[in-house]
Structure 1
Amino acid sequence: MKTAITLIVCFILTISNQLIGQDLNNQIDLSAKIPVDKNVKIGKLSNGITYYIRNNEKPKDKLELRLVVNAGSILEDEDQLGLAHFMEHMNFNGTTHFKKNELVDYLQSIGVKFGADLNAYTSFDETVYILPIPSDDPEKLDKGFQIIEDWAHNALLDHEEIDKERGVVLEEYRLGKGADERMLQNYLPKVLYGSKYASRLPIGTKEILENFDYKSLERFYKDWYRPDLMAIIAVGDVDTNTLEQKIKSHFEQIPAAVNPRQRETFSVPNHKETLIAIESDKEAPFSRVQVLFKDEGNIQNKVTLADYKAMMTKSLFTQMINNRLDELRNSENPPFVYGASYHGKTWAKTKAAYQSFAMTSETGQIEGLKTLLEENERVRQYGFYEGEFNRAKANILARLEKAEKDKDKTPSNRIVGEYIRNFLNKEPIPGIAWEYNFNKANLPSITLTDVNNIINNYLKTENRVIVITGPEKEGITKVTKAEVEALLKTMQDLKLEPYDDKELANSLISELPTPGSVTNTTSNETLGTTQLILSNGAKVTYKKTDFKNDEILFKAFSYGGTSLYSNEDYLSTAHANRALTEAGVNNFDKITLNKMLSGKIVSVNPSIGTYSENFSGSASPQNLEELLQLTHLYFTALNKDEKAFNSFINKQKAILANVLANPQYYFQNEMGKFLNADNPRYVGFPSPDDLDKANYDLAYQKYNERFADAGDFNFYFVGNIDENKLIEYCSKYLANLPTKNKKEHYKIPDYRPLTGKHTKIVEKGEDPKSSVRIIYQGGTTYDESEAQAFKSLAEILSIKLIEKLREEESGVYGVGAQGRIQKIPYGWYNLSIGFPCGPENVEKLKKDAINEVESIIQNGPTDKDLAKIKEAQILKRKQQLKENNYWINLLKNADFYDKDISNVFNYEARINALTKVQIQDVAKKYLTGDYILCIHNPEK
């Protein structure tokens, strides 16, 4: 092996303190084991509980706790269908130290929101509890561990609480009903042929949820919530010794299971024939096709370096096949809206498959399936090519390098998932530094032949399943099994043309105007920002941060947007605007552009909004120049390509053709039309005819008009910025953009949304599902402190609605309120309450919701509820102040809304100063009057 490679291998040896044995020829010993990241400590208590602990300071003063139970719905007995999931619910409804609803109440008091922060999920093979808590208070820290200890073995399972929770779980069951669920029930037995998985969907059955015996739930808890099936994961801003001590003190005393029930692992039997499932439903909004080539054997643990290298080879294959599919979806007449292939787990823990799937038009299912089969076959016949192979390697290394550079800035909630998968599925956890360096050292030794050979292991006629789902409606001929079988037969002797991989240009920009200059620089020491005035009049504001090592975020805006279009021009271009960037820039189409950017972490997206034209984007610091180059080209050299436009329109038609068959989408559309009945610019869900009328020529003309004056733009950059380079690139790519030396503003519309007392009832769908929306809205004069009080009012109202409608009435699964007062284009307030429920409960729950509003109007909030939302807001802001995304939005919005942000660091004091009287006052002012009521019911 060459000396350079040997040096890289030696470097890997040094940083990993173990790892790679070498033979006499300096080759890597692929039989060596994949190491475990030295940053995580893994231990096991005497009772069998496994624990993972790691100190991680991102974000500061926060700890992510997880209780992982290696048990899910697959372990349910026949009288327990749905009880693995029900048990998850019951852990929030009474434990030894937190009776009834005290748990949620306590966590809200320390700023942890139910649903948004505190949560859990149940699947076929596992149950995972999610608990983020503040870590800067010893009492809160100890209570966090007490909570997960209670979940592990202290659930009370009070009979009264069980019966109350039946209603909540049945509402969740109700939410899942619909076309997709009905079709799933029919095709899952073929995908999971002959296995127990096909009859163990975690939500269970209505009959058992309504009628199960308390002892059935108690038996599930006793059988499966036991130490040898549990892991405690603690990652966050706490030293590992403290974390380990907390785990031992809370969990060591849990007794080990005596004569435990065997935790079986369930397999999926093989089958010789191809199983075909063709399902349709009159409420199905989308058409999909999928082909699975299931592995003959069960999933094997990845243990050695050879296993890891095989995973790398598979990743290269996956990226290349998906790049080809992406090219097809961007063709003028795409065979599908979206398509992808990968090798991975099926619904079953033990069985993996090579899976290709696509979303198609309502009449394009056979064509979509044919394309997937053909592209797989094309790879089998000809393999991939050197150019796409090298681009895939570059992309993989670029992503890993970015992650490695930010390894010390990775949020804890993104780390815990790896440890969950390690416990449940033995997924390797060598750490990102090892993964990056191992890939860097070993990707060169993976050959194109290695990757091309993979397809022969995937494509087989045994264990093959084809699933086709879509709408059932007049005029659409359903695909038949005979058609699918005939298609499969043609694949046997099909001879295809090889893939054509065209040569690429060397640079994005061929000719660049003379650079401009920076004419003025000012700094704001309080905010840590710098503003540049460019020679064409454009303003650039940037903030250098250390929140991420490998991230720069970008935004820009100029006032105007579509508000400056006539009504006629707006309606003609509304459905064409999003297609504009599909054409690419500087004579590079979208496909070519993506290839040219291989190995680079950069994206730029221009858009035209209602009141401004905008840019958003991001880049690694080393790709900052490409970010500015793309921005320059989107100003000056957007392509005009009828084929790209047609591709976009055809995909939109495919997506939207049946979307209104879905009752929920239909309700949204009808509600939108009702609320905007007098709005001359309302478009809603476009019909095929609307899409055909989209005026590409006019949209392209308007785009060039809106981006013709860069001097009217404000640009923002936040992240790990090299200031000298940014100034250089701004001069080179922004300051020389054309300017008209004038300032535009948006046009304030004459139209105002619907106000007053109105009711809209929509009847659609066969399932017994209803939705309720209660809307208070109207004009006002914007005041920043009042806007904050109004937002806080909505958060308090959400707490009360959950307590009343979910916990007390057991009538909903989810409910909430959102409120805001806007400044642009005119002062306007809106508070919306929304929840799904059973049709029989609509009137009662609507009254309950209104009563909660009236209670705040009459009495104001309680001290306790006000304290809860204050704590949550303060905790959230502390975290946001260390995030690039927060800062770039803050800087941009300060200019867009003409707001003073000099007091950004006084936020906590301002929130603490918020009073019950202020909340009650905004409730009286804005919620005393009429409201708009929209109800969705099933068809009678």
Structure 2
Amino acid sequence: MKLLPFPVRTLRLAFVLVLAPLVALRAADFPHQTSDLPADPAIHWGKLYNGLRYALLRNAEPKGRISARLAIKAGSLHENEDQRGLAHFLEHMAFNGSKHFPAANVIEFFQKLGMDFGGDTNASTGFDRTIYQLELPDAKPETLRESLTWFADVAGGILFEPAEIEKERGIILSEKRARDSVGLRTFLAEMDFLVPDTRLPQRLPIGTEEVLKNAPRERFLEYYDTWYRPERMVLVLVGDLEPAAVEPLVREIFGPLKARAPALPEPRLGVVTPTATVEARLHTEMEAGAANVSIQTVVPYAFEPDTAAGRLKYLPRTLALRMLNRRLSILAKQEGAPFLGGIVGVTEQFDLFRNASIELNCRPDQWQAALTVAEQELRRALEHGFQPAELAEAVAEMTNNLDQAVKTAPTRRSGGLAQDLVGDLIDDAVSTHPNAEQALYQPALARITPEICTAALRAAWSEAAGRKLFVTGNVQLPDAAAAIASTFQASAEVAVAPPAKIEQAAFAYTDFGPAGQVAKRTAVDDLGATLIEFANGVRLNLKATDFEAGRIRVNIRLGGGTLTLPMEQRGLGVLANVAFTTGGLGKHSVDDLQRLLAGKTVGLAFGAQSDAFTFGAATNRADLLLQLQLFCAFLTDPGYRPESIRQLHKMAEQVYQRLPHTPDGPFQLEIANLLAGGDPRFGLPPKDVLLSRSLDELKAWLSSEFARAPIEIAVVGDFETDAVVAAVAQTFGALPKRDAKPAYEATRRVTRPAAPLAKEYTITSEIPKALVRLYWPATDGRDVKLTRRLRMLNDVFADRLRVEIREKLAGTYSPNAGADLSDTYPGYGWLVAEAVVAPADTRKIADAMKKVAADLHAGEVTAEELERARQPILTALRDSARTNPYWLGTVLAAAQEYPDRLDWSRNRYTDNESITAAELTALAKQFYDPAKASEFIVLPVANKAQ
């Protein structure tokens, strides 16, 4: 269960041309009925006589599954003072016993159906909505009936048994503790500053400790009966279904629902009073990794119907924000820039207020310089506007987004569509289709000028609205408000010049020599794949699919990754991951590339992985050659520009400032390295070591690898095979001969500690939460049969932890367990369990976790536990088989380097189905040995000086 973030309304990109037939509807039951925007014609709308609305949509992906959502238009804003936190608490109670689902087996019931708790079954509570979600494992009538019956129980049949309420109090308090953070405290302080006379700062969904500990059952029933009313509910079903066949079931199950209490008016949210002057506030969080400075305006806002004119009204503003954000991105990389990154945005929230904001992230000692940049860059745009080249880039990006949305629409995922549909219905927005969106926005984009965008930005940042200045982070100032305001006023007195004129250029990397020739081609007919080797040794693995219309995914593996890392240069891998792509190319900076490639569907992800360097991106047929040219350019002429290492140094300052105050800090700074016997490739290096790494070192390392190292390319998606082969031949096939990949036997060795470890760490923090993490030595992930069984055993262990630590002891909100089994280092792997707990409970919870493991080690895995672990895994396997990321990353990325991966794909269903409880019992005896567990506890200690 989760709490929803602060919702915002942004420019939507989606719609179609005719209305679907309606069932028993009044004029304003759905927003499209009073709008000139066409709703998606495939959606079947309906409303029951009790007021519950529903939307049914047949959708192709994932095949054979249904995404279900039940939303209640009520959240924490609807709570009385003595109910603060009960909207979210009530959401938990839906899983703790209802009319048709006893408390003891709600989760277990769905597990047996093949649904993972927390993944396929979940819920979320926000300020103005509560959403329950189910990802059904299949589209069988009985599965749908059972799921809708549970939804109906949520709507009107939760039992609120006193014993279950008392049991859940500790879980909710543990969740409150787990969610407590610098970010949450800062968010609350910011809301109190921006909209102090509204209900928002007093209605954070997690609630107050007083209410969570003491609210009687009557308070739950008051909220439930008042706000869980049929007319406030929305049911959405998307997936492998026929709306006409499902609709009678919806009527049957939800038709009997009735309101249980008189309707109440919406709560008064308060008032928003704009300031005509400059107001400033400092919120200090000494545990933050950085400072943030923002300039904001807040003005009242009232609901606007979702219409074509309304959407087009905000289009110039959207483009203006894109252009200004691009300026900040470019500026942040320049020498001497006093900030790491920034963002400009304008949102309308809760039909209550509009907020325009520019925010920069910086070092604490640079807050004044960062605030000056924010003020002057905002004013530069307001006074001098934008250049045609900037607008052309923004328009090209949006045009391409519209086009890609249309092309990929046939294979959108049901879960995302269901979530969007629910949001639209709660927000009174029209659920439109990408075809209609393109028809609306494309002509408008052709008419927009820089002057229109500037006017839209000025309207959002009206001087009459005044300015609110908010500085937060590890900053302490005497007379803070005056200091912040005076910095702002001093900046405002400095004249700003127009931005420098943008020079146009062309992409310079299109010729890599004569196209390579295919030397070998192997068809893998049963998997629908083709394996190719070019004359220069470059390998190519292909699989054409229809899982994602209009999309091609590319993965490139090169060389040996951190197996080739110079051991004396610790931190060089971190530098590569952060700085390599930011360094751009020899002929183009990374900012030049963004402008040159605007309107093209190309991407660039790079990583120094444990056994290979990798490039990855998603593209399409039209841009595939350009995508491969971009990859090849980074392989043959990387820029290693100084702005890349400047960004790394800024990020490092923030990371190393934050880690000593977070429970995970010791694991990144010391424990990961400790568990690998001091191997410099594991964990973060000390700050001074990382900052001592140079671009010259990076260039020397990567250049030697990139020159002749083996290359294996995987391409999966919507393509014609001959076109892909030709594009690879013109790029990677044209490169010099590649060497064979060495075995790297020496650098694959990692030594675990000789004996179990037990260490306690302290962090300086005012946030009262501790972390317990246990490690049991395992093995590597190369034996797939063993790996599958260990992962299933781990799921059994995780479920036992849930029952014991969460349900019985209420000691943690979400105990986690995982299997970390290396594919790179023979024999190296761990079984891991962790829990975020109250500092006073660390010993109790650590012992309880050990006892669960010891019981598993000494006892047996039951047949019932096996099935509850197996069924969600089988559901996930069926689902992944129709996803390009699975075929790309798990099967084909290294299919020629590791041919066994093809067989892994062939036998994964039958092998997982064949796993027995006896096998898992034997593995538990082997790996969950109590004598071999390492224990780490991280405790917070308050800063006395602070």
TM-score by length of 1: 0.92
Q: How does 1:795-806 map to 2 (within 5 A)?
A: 795-806=795-806
Q: Relative to structure 1, is the Cα distance of residues 571 and 312 closer, same or farther in structure 2, using a 3 angstrom cutoff?
A: closer
- How far apart, CA to CA, are the structure 2 residues paired with 1:107 and 1:216? 29
Q: How does 1:479-490 map to 2 (within 5 A)?
A: 480-490=480-490
Deviation at 1:154, TM superposition (A): 0.5
Q: Relative to structure 1, is the Cα distance of residues 64 and 478 closer, same or farther in structure 2, using a 3 angstrom cutoff?
A: farther
- How far apart, CA to CA, are the structure 2 residues paired with 1:866 and 1:855? 16
- The CA deviation string for residues 76-115 of structure 1, in whole angstroms up to 9 with x for no partner, is 1111111111111111111101111321110111111111
1:76 aligns with 2:74: no
- State the partner residue of 2:448: 446
- State the partner residue of 2:210: 207
- How far apart, CA to CA, are the structure 2 residues paired with 1:571 and 1:195? 48
- How far apart, CA to CA, are the structure 1 residues paired with 2:849 and 2:182? 30
Q: Relative to structure 1, is the Cα distance of residues 528 and 585 closer, same or farther in structure 2, using a 3 angstrom cutoff?
A: same
- The CA deviation string for residues 480-535 of structure 1, in whole angstroms up to 9 with x for no partner, is 22232123324544421111242222233265422222222221111111122212
Using the TM superposition, name which of 170-179 and 736-745 deviates more.
736-745
8 Å CA contact 1:337–1:655 kept in 2: the answer is no
Using the TM superposition, name which of 671-680 and 46-55 deviates more.
671-680
- State the partner residue of 2:720: 722
1:363 aligns with 2:365: yes
Q: Which amino acid aligns with 1:214?
A: R
Please state whether the residue corresponding to 1:760 is helix, strand or coil.
Answer: strand
8 Å CA contact 1:270–1:463 kept in 2: the answer is no
Q: Which amino acid aligns with 1:37?
A: D
Q: Which amino acid aligns with 1:752?
A: T
Match of 2:104 among 95, 101, 108: 101
8 Å CA contact 2:72–2:232 kept in 1: the answer is yes
Using the TM superposition, name which of 424-433 and 120-129 deviates more.
424-433
Q: Which amino acid aligns with 2:297?
A: F
Using the TM superposition, name which of 929-938 and 164-173 deviates more.
929-938
Q: Which amino acid aligns with 1:468?
A: V
8 Å CA contact 2:789–2:920 kept in 1: the answer is yes
- State the partner residue of 1:39: 42
- State the partner residue of 1:466: 469
8 Å CA contact 1:62–1:236 kept in 2: the answer is yes
- State the partner residue of 1:848: 848
- State the partner residue of 2:247: 244
- State the partner residue of 1:914: 915
- How far apart, CA to CA, are the structure 1 residues paired with 2:673 and 2:529? 45
1:611 aligns with 2:611: yes
Q: Relative to structure 1, is the Cα distance of residues 898 and 777 closer, same or farther in structure 2, using a 3 angstrom cutoff?
A: farther
- State the partner residue of 1:253: 256
Q: Relative to structure 1, is the Cα distance of residues 741 and 155 closer, same or farther in structure 2, using a 3 angstrom cutoff?
A: closer
- How far apart, CA to CA, are the structure 1 residues paired with 2:346 and 2:614? 38
- State the partner residue of 2:545: 545
- State the partner residue of 1:3: none
8 Å CA contact 1:509–1:586 kept in 2: the answer is no
8 Å CA contact 2:518–2:534 kept in 1: the answer is yes
- How far apart, CA to CA, are the structure 2 residues paired with 1:520 and 1:670? 47
Q: Which amino acid aligns with 1:655?
A: Q
8 Å CA contact 2:402–2:437 kept in 1: the answer is yes
1:313 aligns with 2:316: yes
Q: Relative to structure 1, is the Cα distance of residues 508 and 101 closer, same or farther in structure 2, using a 3 angstrom cutoff?
A: farther
Q: Which amino acid aligns with 1:645?
A: S
- How far apart, CA to CA, are the structure 2 residues paired with 1:313 and 1:780? 54
Deviation at 1:872, TM superposition (A): 0.9
8 Å CA contact 1:278–1:479 kept in 2: the answer is no
- State the partner residue of 2:861: 861
1:290 aligns with 2:294: yes
1:601 aligns with 2:601: yes
- How far apart, CA to CA, are the structure 2 residues paired with 1:513 and 1:271? 63
Please state whether the residue corresponding to 2:885 is helix, strand or coil.
Answer: helix
Q: Relative to structure 1, is the Cα distance of residues 687 and 480 closer, same or farther in structure 2, using a 3 angstrom cutoff?
A: farther
8 Å CA contact 2:663–2:770 kept in 1: the answer is no
Please state whether the residue corresponding to 1:568 is helix, strand or coil.
Answer: coil
Deviation at 1:246, TM superposition (A): 2.0
1:641 aligns with 2:644: no
Please state whether the residue corresponding to 2:159 is helix, strand or coil.
Answer: coil
Aligned residues: 909
Q: Which amino acid aligns with 2:298?
A: K
- How far apart, CA to CA, are the structure 1 residues paired with 2:829 and 2:921? 16
Task: Give me the identity figure in percent.
Answer: 23
- How far apart, CA to CA, are the structure 1 residues paired with 2:322 and 2:778? 50
- How far apart, CA to CA, are the structure 1 residues paired with 2:833 and 2:739? 46
Please state whether the residue corresponding to 1:443 is helix, strand or coil.
Answer: helix
Deviation at 1:349, TM superposition (A): 5.0
Match of 2:733 among 732, 735, 750: 735
- Gap regions ≥5 residues in structure 2: 1-14, 21-33
8 Å CA contact 1:521–1:532 kept in 2: the answer is yes
8 Å CA contact 1:34–1:308 kept in 2: the answer is no
- State the partner residue of 1:406: 408
Deviation at 1:847, TM superposition (A): 2.5
- State the partner residue of 2:579: 579
- State the partner residue of 2:814: 814
Deviation at 1:608, TM superposition (A): 2.7
Please state whether the residue corresponding to 2:437 is helix, strand or coil.
Answer: helix
8 Å CA contact 1:357–1:372 kept in 2: the answer is yes
Q: Which amino acid aligns with 1:909?
A: T
Q: Which amino acid aligns with 2:563?
A: S
- Gap regions ≥5 residues in structure 1: 1-13, 20-30
8 Å CA contact 2:857–2:924 kept in 1: the answer is yes
Please state whether the residue corresponding to 1:54 is helix, strand or coil.
Answer: strand
Please state whether the residue corresponding to 1:52 is helix, strand or coil.
Answer: strand
- How far apart, CA to CA, are the structure 2 residues paired with 1:852 and 1:330? 51
Deviation at 1:629, TM superposition (A): 0.5
Deviation at 1:404, TM superposition (A): 1.0
Deviation at 1:901, TM superposition (A): 1.9
- State the partner residue of 1:147: 150
- How far apart, CA to CA, are the structure 2 residues paired with 1:874 and 1:186? 45
Q: Relative to structure 1, is the Cα distance of residues 92 and 572 closer, same or farther in structure 2, using a 3 angstrom cutoff?
A: closer
- How far apart, CA to CA, are the structure 2 residues paired with 1:779 and 1:876? 24
8 Å CA contact 1:676–1:682 kept in 2: the answer is no
Q: Post-superposition, which runs of at least 4 consecutive aligned residues in structure 1 deviate over 6 A?
A: none
Match of 1:275 among 265, 268, 279: 279
Please state whether the residue corresponding to 2:622 is helix, strand or coil.
Answer: helix
8 Å CA contact 2:604–2:631 kept in 1: the answer is yes
8 Å CA contact 1:288–1:358 kept in 2: the answer is yes
- State the partner residue of 1:899: 900
Q: How does 1:533-932 map to 2 (within 5 A)?
A: 533-570=533-570, 574-575=574-575, 578-642=578-642, 644-669=643-668, 671-672=670-671, 675-676=674-675, 678-681=677-680, 684-686=683-685, 688-709=687-708, 712-739=710-737, 741-749=739-747, 750-764=749-763, 765-778=765-778, 782-889=782-889, 890-902=891-903, 904-928=905-929, 929-932=931-934
1:159 aligns with 2:170: no
8 Å CA contact 1:763–1:936 kept in 2: the answer is yes
8 Å CA contact 1:362–1:657 kept in 2: the answer is no
Q: Relative to structure 1, is the Cα distance of residues 165 and 583 closer, same or farther in structure 2, using a 3 angstrom cutoff?
A: same
- The CA deviation string for residues 823-863 of structure 1, in whole angstroms up to 9 with x for no partner, is 42212231001111123322222222222222322332111
8 Å CA contact 2:58–2:238 kept in 1: the answer is yes
Q: Relative to structure 1, is the Cα distance of residues 186 and 260 closer, same or farther in structure 2, using a 3 angstrom cutoff?
A: same
1:326 aligns with 2:325: no
Q: Which amino acid aligns with 1:759?
A: A
8 Å CA contact 2:645–2:695 kept in 1: the answer is no
Please state whether the residue corresponding to 1:789 is helix, strand or coil.
Answer: helix
1:127 aligns with 2:126: no
- The CA deviation string for residues 349-388 of structure 1, in whole angstroms up to 9 with x for no partner, is 5222112222211222222222222221111111111111
Q: Relative to structure 1, is the Cα distance of residues 292 and 780 closer, same or farther in structure 2, using a 3 angstrom cutoff?
A: closer
Q: Relative to structure 1, is the Cα distance of residues 688 and 758 closer, same or farther in structure 2, using a 3 angstrom cutoff?
A: closer
- State the partner residue of 2:8: none
8 Å CA contact 1:134–1:141 kept in 2: the answer is no
Using the TM superposition, name which of 71-80 and 664-673 deviates more.
664-673
8 Å CA contact 1:96–1:155 kept in 2: the answer is yes
